[in-house]
């Protein structure tokens, strides 16, 4: 079953709505330049109210190792999502479960993936992330044949079904695609997004043609 992450959360009620709709993971952005930047207190409060087995993800970009470790520990977060130039050495030194984001607009994405140790998990996005536009799905589909990926970049309730059927990713990730404004989630859009993913996933299981 394709996993679903709702990212860029800034309100407790939005996280609870996502959990109720069936999301598997929640993302809290701690990159300094983000318009959806969250607080450690928010992550802690959300984590205390969610049902078990939902993964809490902290999103970072080229931040010092100790800062990432501190936020991850204080926020009781499970996975660090890295959107900058972090290499395998950085990941090794971090010593935490990680998800490395890469730009899937470039044909070099598969080669870049092979620059990380086997077992590294990847999220493929457009640009540096947060651009609100789809990445190159054909490149993402090729990458998925090499490593299991999470597909991100401009995914909405309207296009995520097509993306799932074409790429067949391990998971999908959305932030702006389910918002009414920056950081404010639309609960109906969350439900529609998750429903579209589940419908497309079922079609893949049945072997329906794209």
pLDDT tens across 48-84, in order?
Answer: 999 999 999 999 999 999 999 999 999 999 999 999 9
In the predicted structure, residue 5 carries a pLDDT above the cut 90: yes
Maximum distance among all Cα pairs of the chain, rounded to whole angstroms: 48
Residue 76 a catalytic site member = no
What is the bridge-based pairing of β-strands 25-29 and 3-6?
parallel
Strand partners, 26: 6, 56
| Residue from 167, 163, 165, 157 nearest 194 by CA | 157
DSSP helix/strand/coil, 54:
coil
Catalytic residue, from 14, 24, 105, 125: name it.
125
What tokens appear for 199 in the block?
């419908």
pLDDT bracket for residue 128 (50, 70, 90): low
Give the three-state DSSP class for 65.
helix
Tokens 């959300």 sit on residue: 46
Answer yes or no: 125 catalytic.
yes
Q: Which two tokens stand for residue 36?
A: 């959806």
Q: Which fold has domain 3-206?
A: TIM Barrel (3.20.20)
Q: What does the pLDDT look like over 113-127, one tens digit per residue?
A: 999 998 899 999 987
Q: Which residue is catalytic, options 7, 105, 136, 173?
A: 7
Strands 3-6 and 184-185: unpaired
Read off the pLDDT of each residue in 158-174 and give the average, rounded to a whole number: 97
Are the CB atoms for 28 and 50 separated by under 8 Å?
no
Residue 31 has pLDDT above 90, yes or no: yes
Taking the whole predicted model, whether its pTM rises above 0.85 is answered as yes
């Amino acid at each position: 079953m394709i996993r679903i992450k709702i990212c860029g959360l800034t309100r407790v009620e939005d996280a609870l709505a996502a959990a109720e709709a069936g999301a598997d993971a929640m993302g809290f952005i701690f990159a300094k330049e983000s318009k959806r930047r969250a607080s450690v207190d928010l992550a802690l409060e959300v984590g205390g109210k969610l049902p078990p087995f939902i993964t809490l993800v902290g999103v970072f970009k080229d931040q010092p190792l100790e800062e990432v470790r501190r936020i991850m520990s204080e926020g009781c977060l499970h996975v660090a999502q890295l959107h900058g130039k972090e290499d395998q050495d950085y990941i090794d030194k971090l010593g935490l479960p990680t998800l490395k984001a890469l730009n899937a607009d470039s044909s070099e994405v598969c080669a870049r993936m092979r620059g990380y140790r086997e077992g590294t998990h990847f999220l493929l996005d457009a640009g540096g992330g947060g651009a609100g536009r789809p990445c190159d799905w054909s490149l993402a589909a090729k990458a998925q044949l090499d490593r299991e990926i999470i597909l991100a970049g401009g995914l909405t309730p309207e296009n995520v079904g097509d993306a799932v059927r074409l790429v067949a990713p391990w998971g999908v990730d959305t932030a702006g695609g389910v918002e009414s404004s920056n950081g404010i989630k639309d609960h109906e859009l969350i439900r529609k997004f998750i429903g579209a993913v589940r419908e497309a996933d079922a079609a893949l299981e049945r072997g329906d043609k794209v």
